[in-house]
Amino acid sequence: MKFDTPASANPIDQGRVVGQAVDRVDGRLKTTGRARYTYELHDEVPGAAYGAVVGATVAKGRIVSMDLAAAQHAPGVLTIVTAQSAGKLGKADRNTARLLAGPSIDHYHQAVALVVAETFEQARAAAQLVRVQYATAPGSYELAAAKEGAAAPKTGRGARDSVRGDFSAAFAAAPVQLDALYTTPDQAHAMMEPHASVAAWDGDRLTVWTSNQMVAWGVSDLATTLGIPKEKVRVVSRFIGGGFGGKLFIRTDAVLAALGARAAGRPVKVALPRPLMFNNTPHRPATIQRIRLGAGPDGKLSALAHESWSGDLPGGKPEMAIQQSRLLYAAPNRLTATRLAVLDLPEGNAMRAPGEAPGLMALEIAMDEMAEKLGLDPIAFRILNDTQVDPENPERPFTQRQLAECLRLGAQRFGWPRRSAAPRQRREGSWWIGMGVAVGFRNNQVMNSAARVRLDARGMVTVETDMTDIGTGSYTVIAQTAAEMLGLPIERVVVRLGDSAFPVSAGSGGQWGGNSSTAGVYAACVRLREAVAQRLAVPVDQAGFADGMVLVGDRRIPLNAAAADGDLVAEDLIEFGNLTQKFQQSTFAGHFVEVGVDVDTCEVRVRRMLAVCAAGRILNPKTARSQVIGAMTMAVGAALMEELVVDPRRGFFVNHDLAGYEVPVHADIPRQEVIFLDETDPASSPMKAKGVGELGICGVGAAIANAIYNAVGARVRDYPVTLDKLLDATRQRA
């Protein structure tokens, strides 16, 4: 099905199931422990051996020698895989780092060997016996030190500099100016489920059960890495315990499980321990961002520049922290630029809302600082500079843009009029109290997506697609879509996901999964409705589907009658044509935060949070709310505590476990409220929906920082806003 024009009224608009707050269809499996995650697949993959990864203990250099003798003779050891024994491996385009090192070392904890043994304990013990001698080489590990040598990236979405008008002249002439630097640190995904894979060979055919967000990408990348045809690879990923972008691409665990299984002649399980997850898998790279704003006394921006520096391994891509600044506020003279430094740290890559999340942490502080210079309310200043068209391409309108409505409604619900514009005006006991606001923005991407739908004689419908569920509720919204389209209760829909034997879907990532995958299911259901009508000999354009019946005039025909002589199967693909050329599709939010800051210690407590979101039709308010509050929680971590600390001598992340890398816990999170504007976006997809999950993190960090400033009058531009920085800032203010 080709979709490149706004959808007219369609069966999805009935709202009997889609749009309702339906419980997760997989909820009972997860809460009772019957949902099997990758490393728990004991019955499905019997007789599996266990693999333990040996990681490099230097960040840059070469392997001089590797002594495997003691490990090979350890109890239970079956085989040891190294780059030498594995033979030539390809390098998939989606991986910046090689997934098995040798003889050169690209980063700390890069895999150098896999020890396979009968039990996990035997494999782990034997891995400690592998002796590797390295010749180290000097490396670059600090972004600030490498900043001057950074260059314009050659690859990456929107990597080229963007210029409109004459920024330099307009900024110089602006009566009110802001020129400030902001930094965000390296951050880790720290998802609950580790990267884990189980691999098994059947002759020359490989099956890999893995925790991976993009099944089709996984097939392609495994085939490229191992040098085998894609048709010989099957990837299965039914349940994923958190991804956040860290599981978009095949990683070391999957490749080494496949190599280990081939060498051992039996299935092999591999899971990365926490330290390897921090230093071996992708992370959100640190940024240095310079923002310059120029405006007249009326508050209208005349000049806007956002420049960002980040680092990655050679051949890597930048953190596109400037991308929201190209679309968010109107200003006739604009400059956005990205620079990429070569760093010998573990790979930097996608982490929830890459680009917008760290970019808004800087831009939305700058907007508050500029509002203060102008003597304007921060919300009024943002609304004044709102736009309904792409500021860099005014001929391209937004499909929907209710940003001002998000801010106005949020201000009303949060009690914004009670906020004092001047800092340090509200005190409760030993706490200064402050309120902050920031805009949330995340582009709405769409991806081609296919599905297969089967109707059987019992009146049950089975949906098959390789779409994954990373905790977002994919199983549920897909079931809702099929139930709505075919007039069935959701209990009569079975959803099967995460298997490359099924039609290729959008996959889970970039906030595109829910909207795109359900649109693919929609397309397949349209085909099934046609097949049902043909089998029942009724005109499809006159057939309604409701309550398990096909309704034609006064006739009510049971839906399962169409499958009386055999199952009906339909498959289709949703394709989005040139939508992105015709329209700018984005999602918006107003984020509001209230904090308390201890008068003496500068300890910060987040007291209240509110997100007002405009993201098209919300397919399931219950699961969507869960996504947003999860993202808001992650933003609390980014604002106040999360930082991978780099050892500049040895080139690794020191706090590479959950004891040293701090993330928010229940006690850190207050009451969170989420409001979804009642909107549909017919130009986005037949579902008239958009992505919503990553919108919840975008801007929240800045709202927290702005609330802290409103509480104590001290501005911290270097995240995370920790006690030492805030104490220094308050002393300087005093």
Tell me the pLDDT tens digit for each residue of 333-377. Answer: 999 999 999 999 999 999 999 999 999 999 999 999 999 999 999
User: Which two three-digit tokens encode residue 3?
Assistant: 């979709």
Output the pTM of the full model. 0.97
Average the pLDDT over 127-134 and give the result. 98
Cα 357 to Cα 278, 286, 345, 672, distances in angstroms: 20, 12, 21, 19
For residue 106, is pLDDT > 90?
A: yes
pLDDT, tens only, 13-39: 999 999 999 999 999 999 999 999 999
**Given pLDDT bands bounded at 50, 70 and 90, which one contains residue 5?**
low
Cα 661 to Cα 191, 251, 262, 329, 643, distances in angstroms: 12, 22, 36, 35, 7
For residue 718, is pLDDT > 80?
A: yes
For residue 8, is pLDDT > 60?
A: no
Question: Which amino acid, residue 416?
Answer: W
For residue 155, is pLDDT > 80?
A: no
pLDDT for 654 equals 97
pLDDT, tens only, 45-58: 999 999 999 999 99
Euclidean distance between CA atoms 328 and 407, whole angstroms: 14
Cα 466 to Cα 210, 250, 480, 507, 639, distances in angstroms: 13, 15, 17, 7, 35
pLDDT, tens only, 335-345: 999 999 999 99
Euclidean distance between CA atoms 267 and 257, whole angstroms: 8
Q: Indicate the SS3 state at residue 334.
A: strand
For residue 446, is pLDDT > 60?
A: yes
Residue 507's nearest CA partner among 488, 492, 520, 490 is 520
Q: Where are the domains of the chain?
A: 11-35+447-575, 357-443+582-733
Least confidently predicted of 66-70, 216-220, 697-701, 726-730: 726-730
pLDDT for 656 equals 96
User: Regarding predicted confidence, which is higher, 1 or 59?
Assistant: 59
Could you identify the residue written with the tokens 């080494």? 256
CATH numeric code, 11-35+447-575: 3.30.365.10
Residue 185's nearest CA partner among 156, 227, 143 is 143
Average the pLDDT over 272-288 and give the result. 96
Sheet with 49-55: list strands edge to edge: 77-82, 111-117, 49-55, 268-271, 196-202, 205-210, 233-236
Euclidean distance between CA atoms 313 and 348, whole angstroms: 8
701 backbone dihedrals φ, ψ, rounded to 5° = -55, -40
Cα 88 to Cα 226, 234, 256, distances in angstroms: 8, 21, 14
8 Å CB contact between 309 and 112:
no
pLDDT, tens only, 157-175: 678 899 999 999 999 999 9
Q: Which of 356, 372, 642, 694 is catalytic?
A: 694
pLDDT for 221 equals 97
pLDDT for 120 equals 97
8 Å CB contact between 632 and 609:
yes
For residue 447, is pLDDT > 80?
A: yes
Considering only CA atoms, give the Rg of the chain. 27
Tell me whether the CATH fold assigned to 11-35+447-575 matches the one assigned to 357-443+582-733.
yes
Euclidean distance between CA atoms 357 and 701, whole angstroms: 8
pLDDT for 154 equals 85
Euclidean distance between CA atoms 340 and 337, whole angstroms: 10
8 Å CB contact between 580 and 447:
no
Tell me whether residue 694 is one of the annotated catalytic residues. yes
For residue 7, is pLDDT > 70?
A: no
Cα 594 to Cα 443, 637, 680, 690, 706, distances in angstroms: 27, 15, 30, 28, 10
User: What is the DSSP secondary-structure string of 73-85?
Assistant: TSTTEEEEEEHHH
For residue 6, is pLDDT > 80?
A: no
CB atoms within 10 A of CB 202: 9
What is the largest distance, in Å, between two alpha-carbon atoms of the chain?
83
Sheet with 61-67: list strands edge to edge: 104-105, 61-67, 131-136
Average the pLDDT over 604-608 and give the result. 98
Euclidean distance between CA atoms 395 and 586, whole angstroms: 16
pLDDT for 93 equals 83
Question: Which amino acid, residue 338?
Answer: T
pLDDT, tens only, 293-343: 999 999 999 999 999 999 999 999 999 999 999 999 999 999 999 999 999
What is the average pLDDT score of the chain? Answer: 96
pLDDT, tens only, 180-189: 999 999 999 9
Cα 160 to Cα 147, 155, 350, distances in angstroms: 18, 9, 19
Of the CATH numbers 3.30.450.20, 3.30.70.260, 3.30.70.1140, 3.30.365.10, which one belongs to the domain with range 357-443+582-733?
3.30.365.10
In DSSP terms, 453 is beta-bridged to: 463, 570
Average the pLDDT over 633-654 and give the result. 98
